[in-house]
Chains A and B, each alone.
Chain A
Amino acid sequence: DQQVKQNSPSLSVQEGRISILNCDYTNSMFDYFLWYKKYPAEGPTFLISISSIKDKNEDGRFTVFLNKSAKHLSLHIVPSQPGDSAVYFCAAAEMYSGGGADGLTFGKGTHLIIQP
Chain B
Amino acid sequence: DVKVTQSSRYLVKRTGEKVFLECVQDMDHENMFWYRQDPGLGLRLIYFSYDVKMKEKGDIPEGYSVSREKKERFSLILESASTNQTSMYLCASSLPGKAAEAFFGQGTRLTVV
**Residues on A close to B: CB < 8 A?**
6, 9, 32, 34, 36, 41-46, 49, 89, 91, 93, 95, 99-109
Contacts and interface: CB of A to CB of B under 8 A. Distances in A.
A107 B4 contact: no
B4 A93 contact: no
Interface in B89-106: 90, 92, 96-97, 99-106
Given A6-B42, A93-B99, 15 more contacts: A32-B100, A41-B107, A43-B4, A43-B105, A49-B100, A89-B42, A95-B99, A100-B96, A100-B97, A100-B99, A101-B31, A104-B102, A106-B43, A108-B42, A109-B42
B50 A100 contact: yes
A32 B99 CA distance: 10
A42 to B, nearest CB: 6
B77 interface: no
Interface of B: 4, 9, 31, 33, 35, 40-45, 48, 50, 56, 58, 90, 92, 96-97, 99-107, 109
A63 B105 CA distance: 25
Given A44-B90, A93-B100, A104 B107 contact: no
A44 B104 contact: yes
B50 A34 contact: no
Contacts of B90: 43-44
A46 B42 contact: no
Contacts of A34: 100-101
Given A43-B4, A95-B100, A103 B42 contact: no
7 smallest CB-CB distances across A and B, nearest first, come from A101-B99, A43-B104, A108-B42, A99-B97, A106-B43, A93-B100, A99-B96
A43 B107 contact: yes
Given A43-B105, A43-B106, A104 B100 contact: yes
B2 to A, nearest CB: 10
